[in-house]
């Protein structure tokens, strides 16, 4: 048996049993962060904070929410919004956080692409990040079903219909997912379960994986230069703090992180109190009606770009391209053939153009997805969707021709 001595303090008592000092070093004070990074590296911490906001507000909503087709709508729009003291606060925090979390996720993703942070041992960080994106998408979609308004119902109808696979006519699969011919009680019940238990648990597991994947390669830096963390941290510990290229995660770097988080939270609560409307679709304030489709059905803004890739084509081609758009980002570390892991702007014209074009094209796709599919907008959407696909197909070619810098 391990040898225990009489504890000299509470800390020592815990240390003998849980090795808290060692854990603290591994996770915080001797987890090394390059000095050469900027505020874009605080996005991950903002995402953690936003997830906690979702979790806490969700727990309070859960106390009054009733997952039945007859009562769900009123339990949200009447009980939570009018009867429960501060119920509106939890709902607005939850709704705004669910929307803003995607804005931050996209910034986080494009930061990763810009600085090449998915290469050279950081592939698992990227892959676990994309799995988190998928899990958050499923979480947001399942949550959107819960108020059982018109948009809940019709988004549920349209999205589950995607699983019929177009000409495959896999209606049995659609009915199996719904547990009924149309979205009804069985559907609401299972999406409720997914939203409040299974997917949040999966998200927590994935966040653990994401962090574990970071531990060995460490975070990237603004120049993409390779840092020898053993040498630099030794320098730091030996007293040459100014000469070392790295610093401690806690409390040193974390203080900067929390500064950015503070600014974010001010912006966030400004939205919650004064500008929450964008996160609550007006159409969803009508109760679900299976016999009436709203005039325009569009998803929340963060799904618009991929929705716009589905829309302009016939159903089978649309589904194939949509599926392509959903999974292609995961493979980025393997499609990018260039050995350079430096900022996009320094990788030569081809990749520089690729990056900025991809970013702007996704913004265009997002805008077109919101507009009704008519005339001019249809045409722009079609061109953008084709451009998106072509860009991904071209990526292995332009990156393998890229010169080593």
Residues that bind ligand HEM (CB under 6 A): 54-55, 58-59, 61-62, 65, 76, 91, 94-95, 98, 101, 136, 139-140, 143-144, 146-147, 195-196, 200, 280
Question: Of 96 and 246, which has the nearer Cβ to ligand HEM?
Answer: 96
**Axis-axis angle for helices 150-161, 185-193 (nearest 10):** 90
Residue with tokens 């998915």: 118
Name which position in 80, 157, 332, 364 contacts other proteins (CB under 8 A). Answer: 157
Tokens linked to 400:
């393998």
177 binds, among ligand HEM, other proteins, none (CB under 5 to 8 A by kind): other proteins
Residue with tokens 């430096």: 342
Rounded to the nearest whole angstrom, what is the least distance from the CB of residue 64 to other proteins in the complex? 27
Question: Of 176 and 273, which has the nearer Cβ to other proteins?
Answer: 176
C-alpha 134/C-alpha 157 separation (Å) is: 20
Of 37-45, 70-78, 92-100, 313-321, the window that binds other proteins (rule: CB under 8 A) is: 313-321
C-alpha 319/C-alpha 315 separation (Å) is: 6
Tokens linked to 97:
């956080």
358 binds, among ligand HEM, other proteins, none (CB under 5 to 8 A by kind): none
Q: Are 217 and 125 in contact (CB under 8 A)?
A: yes
Rounded to the nearest whole angstrom, what is the least distance from the CB of residue 179 to ligand HEM in the complex? 20
Rounded to the nearest whole angstrom, what is the least distance from the CB of residue 144 to other proteins in the complex? 16
Question: Of 115 and 303, which has the nearer Cβ to ligand HEM?
Answer: 303
98 binds, among ligand HEM, other proteins, none (CB under 5 to 8 A by kind): ligand HEM
C-alpha 98/C-alpha 75 separation (Å) is: 20
Residue with tokens 């998803």: 299
Rounded to the nearest whole angstrom, what is the least distance from the CB of residue 345 to other proteins in the complex? 38
Q: Are 186 and 108 in contact (CB under 8 A)?
A: no
C-alpha 203/C-alpha 208 separation (Å) is: 9
Question: Of 256 and 370, which has the nearer Cβ to ligand HEM?
Answer: 370
C-alpha 23/C-alpha 116 separation (Å) is: 30
Rounded to the nearest whole angstrom, what is the least distance from the CB of residue 384 to other proteins in the complex? 16
Rounded to the nearest whole angstrom, what is the least distance from the CB of residue 196 to other proteins in the complex? 18
Question: Of 128 and 150, which has the nearer Cβ to other proteins?
Answer: 150
**Axis-axis angle for helices 315-328, 375-400 (nearest 10):** 50
19: left (phi over 0), alpha (psi -120 to 50) or beta: left
C-alpha 35/C-alpha 221 separation (Å) is: 8
Q: Under the criterion CB under 8 A, does residue 162 sit at the interface with other proteins? A: yes
Q: Under the criterion CB under 8 A, does residue 181 sit at the interface with other proteins? A: yes
Q: Which residues contact 335 (CB under 8 A, 6 or more apart)?
A: 328, 392, 395, 396, 399
Q: Under the criterion CB under 8 A, does residue 320 sit at the interface with other proteins? A: no
Question: Of 140 and 362, which has the nearer Cβ to ligand HEM?
Answer: 140
Name which position in 55, 138, 297, 382 contacts other proteins (CB under 8 A). Answer: 297
Rounded to the nearest whole angstrom, what is the least distance from the CB of residue 187 to ligand HEM in the complex? 15
Tokens linked to 390:
């072509």
> What is the greatest pairwise CA distance in the chain?
80
Q: Under the criterion CB under 8 A, does residue 68 sit at the interface with other proteins? A: no
101 binds, among ligand HEM, other proteins, none (CB under 5 to 8 A by kind): ligand HEM
Tokens linked to 401:
């021709």
Interface with other proteins in residues 190-209 (CB under 8 A): 190
Question: Of 116 and 147, which has the nearer Cβ to ligand HEM?
Answer: 147
Question: Of 48 and 380, which has the nearer Cβ to ligand HEM?
Answer: 48
Question: Of 87 and 116, which has the nearer Cβ to ligand HEM?
Answer: 87
Closest CA to 138 of 175, 98, 170, 172: 98
C-alpha 57/C-alpha 77 separation (Å) is: 16
Question: Of 239 and 375, which has the nearer Cβ to other proteins?
Answer: 375
Tokens linked to 264:
């974010």
Tokens linked to 82:
């009018």
C-alpha 9/C-alpha 242 separation (Å) is: 35
Interface with other proteins in residues 334-373 (CB under 8 A): 372-373
Residues in touch with other proteins (CB under 8 A): 154, 157-158, 161-162, 166-167, 169, 175-182, 184, 186, 190, 290-297, 311, 313-316, 318, 372-374, 378
């Amino acid at each position: 048996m391990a040898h225990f001595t009489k504890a000299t303090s509470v800390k020592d008592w815990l240390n003998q049993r849980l090795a808290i000092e060692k854990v603290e070093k591994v996770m915080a004070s001797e987890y090394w962060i390059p000095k050469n990074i900027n505020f874009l590296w605080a996005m991950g911490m903002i995402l953690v904070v936003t997830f906690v906001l979702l979790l806490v507000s969700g727990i309070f909503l859960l106390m009054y929410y009733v997952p039945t087709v007859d009562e769900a709508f009123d339990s949200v729009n009447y009980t939570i919004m009018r009867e429960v003291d501060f119920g509106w606060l939890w709902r607005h925090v939850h709704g705004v956080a669910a929307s803003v979390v995607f804005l931050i996720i996209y910034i986080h993703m494009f930061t990763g692409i810009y600085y090449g942070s998915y290469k050279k041992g950081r592939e698992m960080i990227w892959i676990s990040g994309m799995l988190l994106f998928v899990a958050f998408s499923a979480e947001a979609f399942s949550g959107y079903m819960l108020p059982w308004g018109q948009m809940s119902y019709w988004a549920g109808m349209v999205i589950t219909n995607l699983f019929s696979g177009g000409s495959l006519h896999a209606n049995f699969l659609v009915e199996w997912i719904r547990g009924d011919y149309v979205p009804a009680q069985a559907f609401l019940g299972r999406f409720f379960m997914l939203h409040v238990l299974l997917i949040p648990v999966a998200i927590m597991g994935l966040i653990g994986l994401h962090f574990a994947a970071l531990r060995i390669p460490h975070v990237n830096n603004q120049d993409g230069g390779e840092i020898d963390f053993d040498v630099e941290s030794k320098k730091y510990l030996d007293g040459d703090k100014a000469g070392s290229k790295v610093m401690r995660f806690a409390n040193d770097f974390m203080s900067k992180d929390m500064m950015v988080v503070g600014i974010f939270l001010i912006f966030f609560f400004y939205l919650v109190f004064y500008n929450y409307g964008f996160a609550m679709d007006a159409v969803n304030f009508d109760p679900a009606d299976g016999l009436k489709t709203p005039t325009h059905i569009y998803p929340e803004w963060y799904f618009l770009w991929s929705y716009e890739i589905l829309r302009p084509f016939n159903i089978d081609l649309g589904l194939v391209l949509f599926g392509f758009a959903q999974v292609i980002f995961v493979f980025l570390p393997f499609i990018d053939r260039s050995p350079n892991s430096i900022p996009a702007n320094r990788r030569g014209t081809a990749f520089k153009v690729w990056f900025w074009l991809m970013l702007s094209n996704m913004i265009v796709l997002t805008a077109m997805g919101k507009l009704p599919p008519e005339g001019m907008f249809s045409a722009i959407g079609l061109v953008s969707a084709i451009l998106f696909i072509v860009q991904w197909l071209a990526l292995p070619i332009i990156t393998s021709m890229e010169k080593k810098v």
